[in-house]
Chain A
Amino acid sequence: MRYNSTIKANMSTIIMFGAFILGWIMVGFFVEGFGSFGHLISIIQLAGFLGIVAAGQNLVILTGKFDLSMGSMISFCGIFFALAYKVWGLNWVLLIFITLVMGILLGAFNGIGVSTLNIPPLVMTLASGSIFKGIALVITKGTSSFADIPEFNWFVNEKWLFGINGVLLVWLICIILVVFLLNKTTFGKAIYYTGSNSLAAHFSGIPTKKIGIAVYMLSGLSSAIVGLLLVGFTGKSYFGMGDMYQFMSLAAVVVGGTSINGGKGGYIGTVMGALLLTLIQSVLTLFKIPYGGQLSIQGIIILLLVIAYSLNLKEKRKA
């Protein structure tokens, strides 16, 4: 009986994983080379960027809020890192730490606005995103700049650890940490309680405001990590480098079965969501579907999955 209930609770994750493997095999059957193990790893590595951003987004959504400034924070941190290396010539390891702290501070700005000043999260993060992006635009004047940091590029791109590269390594560490955080720590429990009923959590002594600020700080941290990795991956920073992740992070979390109202879900589902969305994107690119078509098809898939989840919820309510 116990196993039955765990399977039921993780049904969406299992279906998602099945869909991912099935999609990979089916496309691999038709297209030569797509089904190879090496290509599977490279899809997973590509999904790493989305997966890490979605980790921060997931924590925020579990508290019942969301963060639409992540794309801008990624751009901001990536541009800061590349420019500071180029202009100031600082040590890149030191700069990585400074950039991570910067990401946390940007996140704290969002958190204070949402939790302390009670500004609706959509407006706060849209506004702050437009401010971060605006500052990045003023600094760069819309130009892209190259960041040639051989050691860092090697760390991100080369498959130096058992055939996986730095992105996947960071993602694996991120998965372990987030799953541990959510399931085994008081902080994780507090996130769930804040999300399912903020007022009740407050009355039972959970510092909901501090939790609110903390999740936004973590979301800023994960954006900064992705900003750094993107700079290492592409070797340059440019104004719109994080734009794609602004909505895709939210999509990965929602597709992964975490409720947008907070309190329900987990990171494993989101990991599957990120994998599935990346697979879909790479298949669409493979079949040379124009950008507009890719966008539409992704939108339709997200919408259908969201509708499917809502039907599932309805059945549970009746039972």
Chain B
Amino acid sequence: MVHVKKISRVFRKIPAIYLTLVAAIIINGLMNPRMFTERGINNLLLQVMPMVLAAMAQTSVMIVGELDISIGAVVGLSAVILAVTMEPLGWLSVLLVMLAVVVIGVATGFVVAYFNISGIVVTLASSMIFSGLALLILPVPGGLITTGYSKIFTGVSLSIPNTLFMLIFLLLIWEYIKKCTMGINIYAAGGNYYSAFATGIPVKKAKVLAFVICAVLSGLSGMVLAAKTMSGDANIAISYSITSIAGAVLGGVSFAGGIGHMARAAAGVAVISILVNILFFLQVESFWQYAVQGVILLAAVCMSQLNRKI
């Protein structure tokens, strides 16, 4: 009995979302035994990675107390830019995407922070601009992604998928940013904007930085997506804006701002993605996916709402 208590105490310290993720992976693995091979794990990671990056992007904006619904459009735009410019520019196209994404982040953050407009309204308009641009550049899915580029994300080194290295690397960078002054400022600006302002924290700069981090992660998501599909598609990631919010909420990121962990948000969106897999193996018609996603999002929010009351 003592051992049980000790074990349960250890378990209680682990956030529930990680346990849920492990459970979901095990259930998925029982249904599809091939998942636990090197190839299966790589495929699973490739499947969830773009969404995980989008959820991490959403988390940085939610921590500062805003919401970004242009993530889907930015992901699509960066995939399209990559697919179109890879042939003429080669590796420079990656640089071009990064540059575009940073500009997008700075512009969005600047308008939100310095004109004092709600992030939802700004990103609503900007998502129209970005998906319009992506459609202008590439009206139908296509473009070219070289195999050499694709291998970077889809490949496996030291029998560990490259995407896993990337994820761990990004999470470590975020942990570092969190410890820095700028990271602390982001959390402070989200926790209580006016008292942070009164304390002399550069709240506006913090907001811009959060949007830049968000845009860069969205751009990375588009790059992984392009590597996965070997092409660019302006509309491929439209649903990411909603899914990323759902994942972040499931991972315990607060809407009010100031609270949230990127790793947990990543786990949250991975759970959603794996749940869709499980539904697929249960032979649920694909028509149900829309409705199921809505129900999951609603359930996640209700749970987090109840948690806050307790």
Contacts and interface: CB of A to CB of B under 8 A. Distances in A.
Interface string A280-319: 0000000000111111111110110011001101100000
Interface in B131-164: 131-137, 139
A127 interface: yes
In terms of DSSP, what is the predominant structure of the interface of chain A? helix
Interface residues of A, number: 47
B165 to A, nearest CB: 33
Contacts of B135: 290-292, 295
Nearest to A314: B116
B209 interface: no
Which of B67, B246, B298: most chain A CB closer than 10 A?
B298
A299 B129 contact: yes
Nearest to B138: A292
A193 to B, nearest CB: 21
Given A129-B294, A260-B120, A302 B125 contact: yes
Interface stretch (A31-39, A118-126, A210-218): A118-126
A296 B245 CA distance: 24
Contacts of B134: 292
Nearest to A119: B301
B28 interface: no
B115 interface: yes
Nearest to A261: B118
Query: On chain B, which size bracket covers the interface?
Result: 35 or more
B287 A113 contact: no
Contacts of A126: 242, 245, 294, 297
Contacts of B121: 250, 254, 260, 306
B233 to A, nearest CB: 13
Contacts of B92: none
B126 interface: yes
A133 B117 contact: no
A93 interface: no
Interface in A139-161: 141-142
A127 B294 contact: yes
Contacts of A130: 242, 290-291, 293-294, 297
A295 B249 contact: no
Nearest to A289: B136
Which of A117, A119, A247, A299: most chain B CB closer than 10 A?
A299
A128 to B, nearest CB: 7
A296 B133 contact: yes
Contact of A134 (B117, B234, B245, B291): B291
16 contacts: A66-B120, A123-B297, A123-B298, A126-B245, A127-B301, A247-B124, A250-B124, A260-B118, A290-B139, A292-B133, A292-B136, A292-B139, A295-B131, A296-B132, A306-B121, A313-B116
